[in-house]
């Protein structure tokens, strides 16, 4: 299989992406084998439209003007296991920066650029590590440079994606789960398709520190860690209504269309990500594919953690099954609800939230619930492919 085809399979719904939103979206987006990133700066409007100064990554070779600007998180780097990558980083700012991609705990870094002086450009060759979810970030003055905006996600696809498992060396339990999706009575519907993937880059922002960076004031990392009071909480750079309706972030599909979610936490707070309507399987944590695969509705994501979920998109199990509905079709069991509207918004499709349960993260500027770390989980149709009626 050609590299291009492998990546196409792994793209995050690329064809469906709306480019209406710019900047803050982490978005479905990749750079190829020759990857260049500039370290730069910009003002980013938060959910309440208050601008916050951030350090940001920018792809200087991005031809699409809607995606060419500074981004927090940076562009998603998507590569294939064991391919040779040629990575160039340029520091366009006035202070030292760095670039690092850690591997599993206790293992050597995938890559570490050391220090890039103001104006400096460095190119490093590295070989893509084992398939999975990685975070890149500026490790200098840790955690300051990362938290002030210099972070992003690297996705490594296995070089045999036809196995339909996102790891080259899955544990027996992870392989069994993927084998069962779409083939057993518990998981009717479809097997996992690599295009059914999302990335959630969780982040927390305390604008007081960003203002210091904008003023050129040196920041002591100890004071930063002790005095950090997060005021904005984002998923892929967006919050609340905007992260809930971002097609790259929200989960959407029919019953029986399982979806992989790759979660990283580049911020300062420990999050407790909770999905409504489905329990999910925890597949991998910090590059370690799990042997004991828990099915849970809430799972912690500590700072720097990388956690992969499989959301089965099973019929929400606690909806009563009505008599005479052996197929357990939701369009029958929820027929009356699907026809209702509240506040001018239809109940069809069926919307649920995913949110962090450390509920301070559901705020912006200390309030404005729920304009924090939240997105939508939406069922648009039944397991037999029939969309729900009354959608709108």
Partner 1 sequence: MALQTIQRDLVTPEEEVKFQKFISPPKDNPDTPDRLKPDIEFYRKLMVGVDLNLPSRLPDGTDKVKMMVIADDAPKNRLPEQFPSPLIRVRQGQIVHVHADGGQDGHTIHFHGIEPTPMNDGVGKDSFEIGSYTYQWQPKHSGTYFYHCHKNTTLHVELGMYGPLIVDPPEGPGYVTGYNLPGHLIRYDVEAFWAADEIDTRWHDLQHNAFLTHSGHDPNDPSTFTSDGILNDFRPNVFVISGAVRANDTTPITDSRVAVKAKVGQTILMRVVNAGYTIQQFSFGLDADVIAMDGRPLGVPPTGKYSAPFRLSAGTPFRLTSAQRWELIMRPTRTGTFPASVDYFDWVTGKKLATARSQITVA
User: Closer to partner 1 at the Cβ: 2 or 49?
Assistant: 49
Sole binder of partner 1 in the list 14, 270, 327, 380 (CB under 8 A): 270
366 binds partner 1 (CB under 8 A): yes
53 binds partner 1 (CB under 8 A): yes
Pairing label, strands 151-157, 341-342: unpaired
Please, are residues 186 and 35 in contact by the beta-carbon 8 Å criterion?
A: no
Sole binder of partner 1 in the list 194, 230, 256, 381 (CB under 8 A): 230
Instruction: Retrieve residue 191's tokens.
Output: 């097997």
Residues 6+ apart with CB under 8 A from 130: 81, 156, 167, 168, 169, 287
DSSP assignment of 125-145: EEE--SSEEEEEE--TTTTHH
Number of C-alpha atoms within 13 angstroms, CB side, residue 153? Answer: 34
284 binds partner 1 (CB under 8 A): no
Q: Could you give the CA distance from residue 123 to residue 35 in angstroms, rounded to a whole number?
A: 9
Sole binder of partner 1 in the list 104, 124, 219, 358 (CB under 8 A): 358
317 binds partner 1 (CB under 8 A): yes
43 binds partner 1 (CB under 8 A): yes
49 binds partner 1 (CB under 8 A): yes
Q: How many residues bind partner 1 (CB under 8 A)?
A: 96
CB burial of residue 171 (10 Å; 0-12, 13-18, 19+): middle
CA pseudo-torsion sign 226, 229, 233, 237: negative
Classify 245 in phi/psi space as left (phi over 0), alpha (psi -120 to 50) or beta: alpha
256 binds partner 1 (CB under 8 A): no
Q: Which residues in 20-39 contact partner 1 (CB under 8 A)?
A: 20-24
Sole binder of partner 1 in the list 88, 221, 353, 390 (CB under 8 A): 353
Q: Could you give the CA distance from residue 161 to residue 123 in angstroms, rounded to a whole number?
A: 29
Least distance in angstroms from the C-beta of 15 to partner 1:
21
Sole binder of partner 1 in the list 70, 129, 256, 258 (CB under 8 A): 70
Contact region for partner 1 (CB under 8 A) — 9-17, 59-67, 255-263, 293-301? Answer: 293-301
Sole binder of partner 1 in the list 316, 327, 380, 390 (CB under 8 A): 316
User: Closer to partner 1 at the Cβ: 70 or 129?
Assistant: 70
Q: Could you give the CA distance from residue 336 to residue 345 in angstroms, rounded to a whole number?
A: 15
Classify 175 in phi/psi space as left (phi over 0), alpha (psi -120 to 50) or beta: alpha
Please, are residues 116 and 97 in contact by the beta-carbon 8 Å criterion?
A: yes
Least distance in angstroms from the C-beta of 324 to partner 1:
12
Classify 165 in phi/psi space as left (phi over 0), alpha (psi -120 to 50) or beta: beta
Contact region for partner 1 (CB under 8 A) — 76-84, 114-122, 125-133, 355-363? Answer: 355-363
In 3D space, the residue among 61, 63, 66, 75 whose CA is nearest the CA of residue 27 turns out to be: 75
Contact region for partner 1 (CB under 8 A) — 59-67, 95-103, 191-199, 317-325? Answer: 317-325
Sole binder of partner 1 in the list 34, 169, 276, 386 (CB under 8 A): 276
Rg of the chain in Å (alpha carbons): 21
C-alpha 246, offset from chain centre? 11
Sole binder of partner 1 in the list 42, 154, 156, 235 (CB under 8 A): 42
Q: Could you give the CA distance from residue 185 to residue 191 in angstroms, rounded to a whole number?
A: 13
Phi, psi (degrees; rounded to nearest 5) at 271: -105, 160
The residue written with tokens 């590590």 in the block is 129
Sole binder of partner 1 in the list 327, 368, 380, 390 (CB under 8 A): 368
Sole binder of partner 1 in the list 240, 253, 256, 258 (CB under 8 A): 240
User: Closer to partner 1 at the Cβ: 113 or 228?
Assistant: 228
Sole binder of partner 1 in the list 363, 373, 382, 383 (CB under 8 A): 363
Sole binder of partner 1 in the list 30, 55, 167, 242 (CB under 8 A): 242
Phi, psi (degrees; rounded to nearest 5) at 105: -55, 135
Q: Which residues in 323-352 contact partner 1 (CB under 8 A)?
A: 333-337, 340, 342-345, 347, 350-352
Sole binder of partner 1 in the list 13, 32, 300, 327 (CB under 8 A): 300
95 binds partner 1 (CB under 8 A): no
Q: Which residues in 162-191 contact partner 1 (CB under 8 A)?
A: 173-174, 176-177, 180, 184-186
């Amino acid at each position: 299989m050609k590299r291009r085809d492998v990546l196409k399979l792994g793209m995050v719904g690329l064809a469906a992406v709306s480019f209406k939103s710019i900047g803050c979206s982490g978005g479905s987006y990749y750079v190829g084998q020759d990857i260049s990133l500039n370290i730069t700066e910009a003002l980013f409007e938060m959910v309440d439209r208050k601008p916050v100064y951030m350090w940001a990554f920018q792809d200087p070779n991005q031809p699409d003007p809607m995606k060419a600007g500074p981004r927090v998180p940076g562009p998603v780097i998507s590569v294939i296991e064991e391919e040779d990558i040629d990575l160039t980083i340029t520091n366009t700012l006035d202070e030292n920066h760095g670039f690092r991609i850690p591997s599993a705990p206790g293992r050597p870094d995938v890559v570490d650029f050391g220090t890039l002086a103001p104006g400096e450009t460095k190119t490093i060759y590295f070989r893509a590590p084992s398939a999975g979810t990685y975070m890149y970030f500026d490790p200098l003055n840790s955690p300051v440079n990362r938290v002030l905006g210099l972070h992003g996600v690297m996705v490594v696809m296995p070089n045999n994606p036809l196995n339909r498992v996102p790891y080259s060396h899955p544990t027996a339990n992870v392989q069994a789960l993927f084998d069962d999706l779409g083939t057993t009575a518990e998981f009717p519907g479809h097997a996992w398709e690599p295009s059914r993937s999302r990335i959630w880059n969780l982040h927390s922002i305390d604008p007081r520190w960003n203002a210091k960076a904008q003023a050129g004031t040196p920041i002591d990392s100890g004071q930063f860690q002790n005095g950090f009071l997060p005021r904005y909480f984002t998923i892929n750079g967006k919050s609340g209504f905007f992260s809930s309706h971002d097609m790259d972030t929200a989960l959407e599909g029919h019953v029986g269309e399982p979806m992989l979610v790759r979660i990283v936490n580049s911020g300062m707070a420990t999050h407790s990500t909770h999905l409504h309507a489905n329990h999910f399987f925890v597949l991998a944590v910090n590059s370690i594919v799990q042997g004991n695969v828990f099915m849970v509705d809430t799972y912690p994501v500590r700072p720097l953690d990388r956690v992969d979920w499989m959301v089965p998109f099973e019929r929400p199990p606690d909806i009563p099954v009505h008599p005479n509905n052996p197929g357990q079709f939701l369009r029958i069991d929820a027929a009356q609800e699907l026809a209702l509207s509240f506040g001018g918004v239809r109940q069809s499709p069926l919307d649920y939230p995913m949110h962090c349960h450390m509920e301070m993260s559901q705020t912006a500027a200390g309030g404005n619930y729920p304009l924090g770390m939240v997105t939508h989980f939406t069922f648009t149709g039944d397991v037999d492919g029939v969309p729900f009626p009354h959608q709108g």
